[in-house]
Each structure stands twice: as C-alpha cells, then as structure tokens.
Structure 1
Amino acid sequence: MELILKQDIKNLGEKDDVVNVKPGYGRNFLIPKGYATLATGSAKKVLAENLKQAAFKQDKIKKDADAIAGKLEGVKLSIGAKAGESGKIFGSVNTIQIADALKKEGFDVDRRRITFETEPKFVGEYIANLNLHKEVKVKVPFEVVAE
C-alpha cells in the first residue's frame, strides 16, 4: 500500500515522503490517526506542487538569512547586568536580552534561535550563536558589563 506521510514517523519516513507499507498498518493505524493519506495520482500531483512551492519559499528564507548574516558580521553587543565585586552576575544574561539588543541594532531575530557557547555567569566577553536557517549560522560576540 502506497501512502504519503503527513508528519515524521520514526523508522518509516519524514513528512511528504511516499512510502510503501503493509495494507493493515496503513488502513488500521496510519490513515485513521491522520499520519498519512493514500498516494493516488492526484495526491501525488498535489504533493509535487506543494514541494515545489515549499522549495521556493525555503530558497527565499535562506537568501534573507544570508543577507542578515552578512550584516551581522561586524556587530558587537553590550549587555548590562548587575554584578558583584568579584564580577559574578546576579541572575543571568538570557536570550531575550540578546534579542532585545539585536533589535536595538536593527535586527529582528527570534530569541529561540539564539544559543550560547558558554553560559554568561561573569562580567566579560562571550559568543552568541544565531541559527538564522538550518544552513546559516552566525556567531555574534557580546560583552557583559556591570551596571
């Protein structure tokens, strides 16, 4: 039985894959749960068109991410935080503060796409990793200063 998957299924395939499964598995589990649909001729044509449009959108998103990455190359951020005499930060510097600092610089980056190489615990310089696209990653240096 040939099916088109609507979502990723472990050990079977990823979303929009055309897979062959035993009829009972497809008819009794995958189709009723909404994980797959029958791979008819018209469904395959719709899938091909959807994949074509998705590829076009992904290409546009990647080009936008490359443009933002090029502009971010020379940017260095400064984040203020309350710190003790030894330089240890009270609380922590988080991705929301990095996203706000980037927004002030004119870059709109979602905070969920920001990670740290090492968690900022002291006053000093650190690196933030921005995952703009699955193929476009940028390292932005930032400095934590005592307020």
Structure 2
Amino acid sequence: MKVILLERVEGKGVLGDVVTVKDGFARNFLLPRNKALRANSNNLKAFEAQRAEIEARNLRNREAAGKSGESLDGTQYVLIRQAGESGQLYGSVAGRDVADAIKAEGGKVDRSMIVLDKPIKTLGVHEVKVKLHAEVTVTVTLNIARSADEAERQARGENVIASQFEEERLADAEAAQDLLEGGAGAQEGDYEA
C-alpha cells in the first residue's frame, strides 16, 4: 500500500515521503495513529495544501519532546524485584514496568515510548531507550535489585551477584580450614583407649 508519511517513521522515510509499506503495517499502525495517509490524488492535494501546517506542528511536537527529554535523559530509576541466587528475575521487566517507574518519579511517558529489544530478566544496571518523538530519543538507567541496599551497592558499581558468590566461597574456605585445624566439635584432652 502506498502512503504519505505525516512524520518520520524509522526505516521508512521522513515527513512528506510517499512510500510503499505492507498493508497490515499501514492499516494497523500508520493510519490509526495518524502517522500516514493513503496515497491517493485527493490526499496528495490535501497534504500539499496543509504541508506547512503539518511541518510546523511536527516541529512544535519535536521541540516539546526535546525539552521534556532534557530532564529525563540520564536519570536513574530503582526497581525492586524478586530474583534467584544467580541473579535471574522471577519474571521480567517489560516496557510497562519502566513506564510506571518513570511516571512514579513525575516523568510523562507512555509504555509505547519505551524501546526494549528484549525483556530484562537479570539483576543489575541496564540502560533503556525512551523514544519521546520520532526524532527525539533519550536514555534512562534502570537499577534492578532485590533490596534497596543491593540497589545502592549496584549504583556504586559493585557486582552483587559476583560478590555474593565470593562471600560464600570465603565462608566455605574458612569453614574447611577450621575443620582441618581441629575445630568443629574437636575436644582437647587425654583419651583412654
């Protein structure tokens, strides 16, 4: 299906371009969200008549997104989640969770603005892109931890999973050394046989 783009669409074109896209993409995404018009003679004439107005509106929207993006870019959000010993989350963090965390701190985003290539399934610090406008993308940082204390340690750059395994290894080594030295229930004294 041929459409006239009313804003920049990644991988397809910029405002005013007449492009050919798959029918489903046009019917289910571009047309309902007013990102494009069907490319017929009436719509082409109407678009050319309103082109300056559409470009001005797009510019205003981009500037507004840029201003809100300045306050949002580089911010960090802490999400407390349950996870196993190896750092695997019970479940995952999806775009909705990220949007809810940003909204809780006063940001104005929709979950459709969150760009996740795949769901986040591990503890740690993750960078996530937020697309505020077709031409404005900012990055926020998610600190996913099991507790507030763990989140603070991760924020300082500590790998809590590796340090947890190291603490357990040291405790096991200390217990083994104690056992070798005669600890763990050994008694001193004379034994009669």
> What is the TM-score normalised by the length of structure 2?
0.53
Q: Structure 2: how far apart are the matches of 1:96 and 1:66?
A: 22
Instruction: Extract unaligned runs of 5+ from structure 1.
Output: 19-33
1:96 to 1:14, Cα distance in 2 relative to 1, 3 A: closer
Structure 1 residue 50 displacement after superposition: 1.4
Segments of 5+ residues of structure 2 without an aligned counterpart are: 5-12, 19-37, 148-193
Amino acid at match of 1:87: G
Partner of 1:47: 47
What is the one-letter code of the residue matched to 1:106? G
For 2:119 and 2:111, locate their aligned partners in 1 and report how far apart those are by CA, in whole Å. 15
* Percent of matched pairs sharing the same residue: 28
User: How much does 1:48 deviate?
Assistant: 2.9
Task: Quote the offset at 1:118 in angstroms.
Answer: 6.3
- Describe the SS at the equivalent of 1:85: coil
Instruction: Quote the residue 2:83 is aligned against.
Output: 83
- Displacement, 1:104? 1.0
Partners of 2:74 and 2:141 within 8 A in 1: no
1:23 alignment counterpart: none
The answer (yes or no) to whether the contact 2:83–2:123 under 8 Å persists in 1 is yes
Q: Provide the rounded CA distance (Å) in 1 between the counterparts of 2:14 and 2:144.
A: 42
Give 1:87 shift: 1.5
Alignment of 1:1-147 (within 5 A): 7-8=3-4, 35-37=39-41, 44=45, 46-116=46-116, 119-146=119-146
CA shift, 1:73, in A, is: 2.7
Q: Whose radius of gyration is greater, 1 or 2?
A: 2
| Paired residue type of 1:82 | Q
Give the number of the structure with larger relative contact order, counting CA–CA contacts within 8 Å between residues 6 or more apart.
1
CA distance in 2, matches of 1:61, 1:81: 35
Q: What number of residue pairs does the alignment pair up?
A: 121
